[in-house]
Structure 1
Amino acid sequence: MSTPRGRRVTMVAALAENGVIGAEGNIPWHVPADFQHFKATTSGHVLIVGRTTHEGIGRPLPDRHTIVLTSNRDWRGEGVDVAHDITEALELADRVIDGREEECEVMIGGGSVVYEAALPYADVQVLSEIPVSPEGDTHYPEFDRRRWSEASREPRDGFTVVRWERTFGCGGS
């Protein structure tokens, strides 16, 4: 499933060898080059993140239209749009994209609940593989690799960027 007008939905995440993406609300490694990769990948696009992730960042990220996904119907954030489920977030992203002249994608930036909800809609996953196995309480969702093709693998300074593209258009993970 992709968004209603066929917009590309790309999940962008950094994960450890054991699938960990977080520990007690923090990222359990420090790889500055991966932060730069995230910025370069998501800049100029619509970025959907969960409330906890957004609050951990502390502000809307520059050069991105941010949509915060939260189940708290009373939550409001300065400089962001708010959605209460993934369908609403994707529909809102479509409206934002329709108002732009330049090419724009929907980027999913975490956390784990948002990744899990967005996985059936994702067309691409851009995963930074971090060569550590820390303890953690937050994991990237498992996905059926038979429905995804590894399109590229690019070693970087302290991590490897792997691009997965969906090979089956029938939904699922």
Structure 2
Amino acid sequence: MISFLWAEDENRLIGKDNDLPWRLPADLKYFKETTMGHAIVMGRKTYESIGRPLPGRTNIILTHDSNYKQEGCLVLNSKQELLNWAEQNDSEVFITGGSEIFKLFIDEVDQLYVTKIHATFEGDTYFPILNWDDWTLISEKKGLKDEKNPYDYFFQMYKRK
């Protein structure tokens, strides 16, 4: 099963200068809890913005560079390689960015985990446009707003119809 996991603002913004445009520790905790024990897939630039493999997960980097290597990560070079790996290895594989990787798997994704942040930010990277008519909201939980998480935000999960 292929799932997307991301956070976005009201304008579908997901990134700024290869980083998140906001500080929202509760979303990072949600990311960790949701993906723990599963495979996470990211492009090379997203991986390099994190700078290390995330513990407790199979870290997969998708890149066209067949010479690219990172200790502690599985490096794959094509969409088909990842689909083959997913079929053989994991019940749920999380695509975690960036924008180009989301676009690449938009027709294969089965579930969406999105943190909708009710604010707008400056940035340079947007989530691809989805046809929301193809999706059913199956859960929504309001995140706790406090001094460390200063925005209204919701954790939503969708399944493809």
- Tell me, yes or no, whether TM beats 0.5: yes
Misfit runs of 4+, over 3 Å: none
Partner of 1:88: 81
Instruction: Describe the superposition over 1:53-73 as per-residue Cα deviations: whole angstroms up to 9, x where unpaired.
Output: 111111110110111001112
Partner of 2:156: 162
Measured on the aligned residues, the alpha-carbon RMSD in Å equals 1.1
Partner of 2:65: 72
Instruction: Describe the superposition over 1:39-59 as per-residue Cα deviations: whole angstroms up to 9, x where unpaired.
Output: 001000011111111111111
Aligned residues between the structures: 154
Partner of 1:134: 121
Task: Compute the TM-score of the two structures, normalised by the length of structure 1.
Answer: 0.85
Q: Secondary structure in 2 aligned to 1:41?
A: helix
Q: Which runs of 5+ in 2 are unaligned?
A: 145-150
Q: Sequence identity, in percent? A: 34
Within the alignment, does 1:123 sit opposite 2:114 as a pair? no
Task: Compute the TM-score of the two structures, normalised by the length of structure 2.
Answer: 0.91
Partner of 2:13: 20
Q: CA deviation at 1:123?
A: 0.5
Q: CA separation in 1, counterparts of 2:81 and 2:100?
A: 15
Q: Secondary structure in 1 aligned to 2:139?
A: strand
Kept in 2: contact 1:125–1:165 (CA 8 A): yes
Within the alignment, does 1:54 sit opposite 2:47 as a pair? yes
Q: CA separation in 2, counterparts of 1:135 and 1:31?
A: 15
